[in-house]
Structure formats: structure tokens, C-alpha cells
Amino acid sequence: MHIHILGICGTFMGGIAAIAQEAGHKVTGCDQNVYPPMSTQLESLGIELISGFSSEQIKLEPDIYVIGNVVTRGNPLMEEILNQNLPYTSGPQWLSENILRNRWVLAVAGTHGKTTTSSMLTWILEYAGLNPGFLIGGIPENFDTSARIGLRPQSQADEISPFFVIEADEYDTAFFDKRSKFVHYHPKTAILNNLEFDHADIFQDLAAIERQFHHFIRIVPNQGLIVANGIDHNLEHVLKQGCWTPIEPFGVTTGWHTTQLEQTTTEVFFANASQGILKWELLGEHNRMNALAALAAARHAGVPVKVGIEALVQFKNVKRRMEKRGVIHEITVYDDFAHHPTAIQTTLDGLRSHIGNARIIAVLEPRSNTMKMGIWKEKLAKSLEAADTVFCYSFNADWVENALSKLGDKAKCYADLSQLIDAISTVAIPGDHILVMSNGGFGGIHEKLMAAIRNK
């Protein structure tokens, strides 16, 4: 089958492309901007990429068009597909019908930590020899790709592994299907990491997101398992609306929890019984919570907790999650995906606990749709308090300078990227830690900033 994917360079749709090709389909695709890292990954797989959405692409005559949620009415290729009544479907629907059916799906949902927790869970299953398929919204450093179908090792007949881990996003499916993506996945094991208001471009309020999460809970079988953050009041409210599946809470003493012994050493407990000692390099309470969720879900799939802890000792994190990009003149530059006040604060707190009193220079690009709308303007300054100096890229976010005025002189805003880089490189001194936070490419700021520091 020939599949043509509209919006192929997003992490989710790019993962669909990689899996479809591995399953034996011919795959082509297009996007408005064909850009790395997904374009690099797809090109290495030999998948043909077309820049733009010209209606001429119908001449490719694929068997079906798979539509990403970046595609809207008015898109010239989509309009031609509709005019000619050509077959199309959404990415989540295609995945559900062609890859996930009859498999043990482990789905990781929540406002924060989906990518990291999915990567931890996938690595635990891999370490245990289960060779899971997966589709993750980032590239786990223990693997070389964001997605794979999951074939049993040493199989004579390329037998499919029964297990598939998926990052279960609450964002809408497509312009013609406004349900959250995760309702298509029908998991047997579901992780609920946390729940806050986000995606203000598609959700009117928190209640609207809670409704989608409850739709998700409704489809988990009673022989399955829900692993839920036990200290999240919004999730508690969702579960009280009705739940037909056993629940294992984490973050509470009645369920999965940890005791921190040293900065990088944690003891894991389940129902007050010690499960083992986890010694690793990841920072912050949020990563300990992510680890608990992954261990619980893996245990449901048959992996002993001891084996799960052994796997996490070797977990290498995910690209763009506190990823150290370089050290120039004793100045360390990190890249992180944080783009919500809660994620910003937990990331900064984790770094602070690791480096002590050394200076933190926080560099933020408010790039997500919710950020650009100014939804978080009342919470943004507080989320950045752990930083010693704050630089913000205010292009397309006029509200941000006023919002950060609460931080006084330690916050600076620049609408010009070159001026921003120059200002950061001027104040940085040996021993500083520069934390760059954005859910986009940020104009290649990391390499440009390190070059500027090197030159100065």
C-alpha cells in the first residue's frame, strides 16, 4: 500500500511514517517546512519528502492519505482530496487499525512527562527482552529512533512483539476528528502522569480536558491497569467521574513511592515494601515520579521491579530533556523542552539541586500556542524564580516583558535573536549553567550561543 502523509515532519506523524515503512508500505509525505530532526530521520529511511502542500501531489496516486492535525481546511492538497473524494484518515486512526490492533498497548498520558516516561517504560521492556514497538514524541537516547513496529528478536518469521508503548497525547486528532488522539489507542495499561490546563488553542477550560481524559479512562478494560499520580487533584476528579479498571497510585505511601537517600540515589517502595535501590543521574522529583509510573506499568506487563530498576540505572534520558549541549570556557549549556510553567519550575528546581549555588541563566522562548496567547502570564515569573538571571525571546509574545517585570532587573527580554545571544554571552562567566527552554528549534540558538561564548 502507498501512504502519503500530510504533515510528515511532526514527531508523531514522522513516527507513523517510520512504522508504516517498516510494516512494508510505500511511504511518501509533505510538510510546510521540511526540517530536522524528523526530516533527517525520514530521509535516512529513504522516505520521499515534498516541501509544501501543492494540489499537484494527487498525481502520486497513493492508496490513502494520512492527515496530520497541522492540516486545516483551505490547505490546497486537502481541498483537492475532498473535491475528488479520495480516501483519507487521521494518523491515530491509521495507527489504531493497522498497528495497535490485537497488541498490548501501554499508553502514557498527562500534561507533563509523557515523552520521558514513555522512553523509560520502553527501555525497561527492551532491557527485559520484550522488544516492544513504540511511538514517542522525541528520540530516546537508548534508541536511535522515535518509533518502531517491534519485531521479536531472532524470529524466523518476523513475528510482531505483543507490546507497544505510545505517548498518548490529549491534543486533537485532526480537523475532521476533534477527539483527543489518545482515545484511538485502546490501551491495556494506561499511565496518567498529571493533569493541568494546557492547549488553550483547542480547549476552552480545564473541564474540557478532563472530559477527554475521562473518555480515555472509559476504554481501558477491567482486566487492564491504570497507573495514576496519587497527588494530582485534577486526576482524582477525573477518576471520580467513573472508573472500571484497577488503579495503582504513585507518589503516595499507599502505592508506589520513593525515599531519596542521596542526590542520585533513591529507594523504591510499593505498598510499603522496598523494591530496591535506584542509583542514576537524572535530576528532580518529576523524574522520580516518572520512574515510578514506568516501573508500575512494566510490572503489569510482566517485568519484575528488580529488572525495571536495573534498566533505569542504564537509562540515558531523551534528547532535549536537560540535554547537555556543550561546555565552553567552563560554561555549561543545556537544552530542554520545557514550555509550561510547571515544567519550567521543575526543570529549574532539578538543576538547582544538582549544581548547588552555581549561577543559573534561564533562556526561554514562549513558543507553544498556549504560551503565545499569554495564558500563563500570571504564573511565568514565579516559575523562573530559581534562576539567577532570566533572558526571554519576546518575538511573537509582546505580553512577556510585562509578565516578567515581577522579577525586576534579573529578567531581560529581546525580540531580536542576535541581540539576545549577544546579551547572554556578555554576562556569562565560567561556572555558569545556561538552561535553554523551548518546544521548538529556537533559531538554532544553542550552537550560535556556544560560538558567541567561545569568541568572547
* Model pLDDT for residues 118-158, shown as the tens digit of each residue: 999 999 999 999 999 999 988 888 888 889 999 876 554 56
* Predicted pLDDT at 114: 92
Is the pLDDT at 409 greater than 60? The verdict is yes
HSE (side-chain half, CA atoms, 13 Å) at 439: 18
User: Would strands 189-192 and 104-109 be described as parallel, antiparallel, or unpaired?
Assistant: parallel
Q: How far is CA 353 from CA 120, 211, 283, 341, 347, in A?
A: 22, 36, 8, 18, 10
Which has more pLDDT, 262 or 235?
Answer: 235
Report the alpha-carbon distance of residue 297 to residue 301 in Å, rounded: 7
Structural contact between residues 266 and 300, judged by C-beta atoms closer than 8 angstroms: no
Looking at domain 2-89, which of 3.40.80.10, 3.10.690.10, 3.40.50.720, 3.40.50.450 is its CATH number? 3.40.50.720
Domain ranges of the chain: 2-89, 102-313, 323-455
Query: Under 8 Å CB-to-CB from 207, ≥6 apart: which residues?
Result: none
Residue 199 has pLDDT above 80, yes or no: no
**pLDDT confidence of residue 145:** 86
Residue 33 confidence (pLDDT): 75
Least confidently predicted of 42-46, 238-242, 250-254: 42-46
Residue 398 neighbours by CB under 8 Å, 6+ apart: none
Query: Who's near 35: CB < 8 A, 6+ residues apart?
Result: 9, 441
Q: According to the model, what pLDDT value does residue 173 have? A: 96
Cα 88 versus chain centre, distance: 26
Closest CA to 308 of 268, 265, 336: 268
Q: Which three cell numbers stand for residue 160?
A: 510482531
The arithmetic mean of pLDDT across residues 174-181, rounded, is 95
Residue 404 or residue 318, greater confidence: 404
Query: What local confidence, expressed as pLDDT, does residue 157 receive?
Result: 55
pLDDT tens-digit series, residues 54-98: 999 999 999 999 999 999 999 999 999 999 999 999 999 999 999
**Residue among 81, 46, 51 nearest 63 (CA):** 81
Q: What proportion of the chain, given as a percentage, has pLDDT over 70?
A: 98
Site of grid cell 529507594: 267
CB of 290 within 8 A of CB of 113?
A: yes
Residue 306 pLDDT > 90, yes or no? yes
Classify domain 102-313 at the CATH topology level: UDP-N-acetylmuramoyl-L-alanine:D-glutamate ligase (3.40.1190)
Q: Which residue has the cell 491497569?
A: 225
pLDDT of residue 244 exceeding 90 = yes
Strand partners, 145: none
Predicted pLDDT at 155? 53
CA–CA gap between residue 238 and residue 252 (Å, rounded): 18
* Entry pTM: 0.83
What's the pLDDT score for residue 126? 97
Q: Please report, as a single letter, which amino acid is at residue 290.
A: N
Residues contacting residue 388 through CB under 8 Å, at least 6 positions apart: 359, 360, 361, 410
What is the DSSP secondary-structure string of 7-59?
A: TTTSHHHHHHHHHHHHTT-EEEEEESS--TTHHHHHHHTT-EEEES--GGGGG
Of 37-46, 120-129, 373-382, the range with the highest mean pLDDT is: 120-129
Q: What is the pLDDT of residue 35?
A: 61
- Of 36-45, 72-81, 110-119, which has the strongest mean pLDDT? 72-81
- Greater confidence (344 vs 37) lies with 344
Place 39 in a pLDDT band, splitting at 50, 70 and 90: confident
- The DSSP-derived string for 357-405 is TS-EEEEE---SHHHHTTTTTTTHHHHTTT-SEEEEE-TT-TTHHHHGG
pLDDT at 301: 98
Work out whether the CA dihedral 221, 225, 227, 228 comes out positive or negative: positive
Q: Considering the chain, what is the average pLDDT of its residues?
A: 91
Task: With a cut of 90, say whether residue 366 has pLDDT above it.
Answer: no
Q: Per the structure block, which three cell numbers stand in for 217?
A: 479512562
Helix/strand/coil for 255: coil
pLDDT at residue 456, as a whole number = 79
Q: Averaged over 98-123, what is the pLDDT?
A: 95
Considering the domain delimited by 323-455, tell me its CATH architecture: Alpha-Beta Complex (3.90)
Location of C-alpha cell 502507498: 2
Instruction: Give the contacts of 34 (CB within 8 A, at least 6 positions apart).
Output: 9, 49, 50, 51
For residues 303-307, average pLDDT: 97
